Amino acid sequence: MNQEQMRAACALLYRNWSQGTRIDALPPELRPLDRMEGYGVQAFIEGYSGQKLFGWKIAATSISGQAHIGVDGPLAGRLLAECVIEDGGTCVLGNNLMKVAELEFAFRMAQDLPPRNAPYRQDEVLDRVATLHPAIEIPDSRYNRYESAGLAQLIADNACAHRFVLGAAAAPDWRRLDLAARKPRALVDGAVKETGLGANVLGDPRIALTWLVNELSRHGLTLHGQQVVTTGTCIKPAAISEGNRIDGDFGVLGRVSVTIG
């Protein structure tokens, strides 16, 4: 794909996103064929935002999640600032196809991590983390059958990014905790709907964060200080509908909530 094809593919996907409509697939001439072309399409979405990029999301960080959408590894997507909902705020469900909420461990960075030849080690990445936060993602897709769209088209579709809620920062002693062993609970209207496990996220949310840094590095991208990385769902996605209140209880790491409008 050339740059104009990538730009046109992103424009088509963004138009459907903003209008709440969907397509079966990108036209053959605008369809990315691999991970690199998928990210090339995705990159143009930043041009539709009037603010600095809020951060990044990771999709398919669990084996079950990868199986559900037919991919063999995680995918990265961009979090636009306009799509971030204040903790305790309202998310309009609208024509959302997926209709699920996901609990996620999110990290805010303190320093840049620019591209380099050698992979970043986990300790190097964690040294550049400012804070850990509980978070809720409400994903969506611009494809009618996202489960069969394939890896490249899903990356082009911004890895199913949609709405995102960031909770307050956890106490600094989170660094002493075993995040893989944490068991966040998703409550829908006050009742526990799903219980998760940090290990569901590539074995540990810190492993997932390191994966994201190196995925960006491989594609010549910098993870910037102040950007947020949400590391993928640690629960089975919880079904939601209009009127629901979703609470993410992360125990000593805090809580985060959103109302579905």
User: Does residue 38 form part of some domain?
Assistant: no
Number of domains in the chain: 1
pLDDT in tens, 204-227: 999 999 999 999 999 999 999 999
pLDDT at 150 over 90: yes
Q: What is the pLDDT, as a whole number, of residue 246?
A: 98
User: Does residue 13 form part of some domain?
Assistant: no
User: Does residue 172 form part of some domain?
Assistant: yes
Tell me which residue range forms the domain holding 90: 51-260
Q: What is the pLDDT, as a whole number, of residue 64?
A: 87
User: Does residue 123 form part of some domain?
Assistant: yes
For residues 65-89, give the mean pLDDT.
95
Average pLDDT score over the chain: 97
pLDDT in tens, 2-12: 999 999 999 99
User: Does residue 17 form part of some domain?
Assistant: no
pLDDT at 32 over 90: yes
pLDDT at 240 over 90: yes
Which of 164, 187, 203, 163 lies closest to 251 in space, CA to CA? 187
Q: Quick one: pLDDT band at residue 62, thresholds 50, 70, 90?
A: confident
224 token code pair: 């910037």
CB proximity list for 59: less than 8 A, separation 6 or greater: 65, 69, 74, 75, 76, 77, 139, 154, 159, 160, 232
Q: Quick one: pLDDT band at residue 160, thresholds 50, 70, 90?
A: very high
pLDDT at 233 over 90: yes
Residue 137 CA to residue 78 CA, distance in Å, equals 13
CATH code assigned at 113: 3.90.850.10
